[in-house]
Amino acid sequence: MRVVVLWAAVAIGLGVFVVMLASMWRYRRTHATTPVARSAAEYVWALIPCLIVTLCTAPAVHHVLVGLNR
């Protein structure tokens, strides 16, 4: 049951970040009159929260997966 909850949380988290990046891309495509050279930097900065969440949850995921083998 723990693994099902874990995968559901992973799917929801990834979905949120994918929607965030897609909305940024769509907004830039419709509202920007000229391409901005810093767009790539904005996408990288948008990925940083995903990295932080991943690194913060890694110990908990490890704990859940190790607990399955007992």
pLDDT single digits (tens) 22-69: 988 888 778 766 666 677 788 888 888 888 988 998 898 888 888 877
Q: Give the structural domain span for 19.
A: 2-68
If you ran DSSP here, which 8-state letter would residue 13 be given? H
Q: Among all chains, which residue has been given the structure tokens 């995903």?
A: 50
Q: Among all chains, which residue has been given the structure tokens 């049951």?
A: 1
**Residue 37 or residue 9, greater confidence:** 9
Q: Among all chains, which residue has been given the structure tokens 């996408």?
A: 43
Which tokens hold the place of 45? 């900065």
Q: What is the domain count for the chain? A: 1
Q: Is the pTM higher than 0.95?
A: no
Distance between CA atoms of residues 45 and 59, nearest Å: 24
CB-CB neighbours of 50 under 10 Å: 16
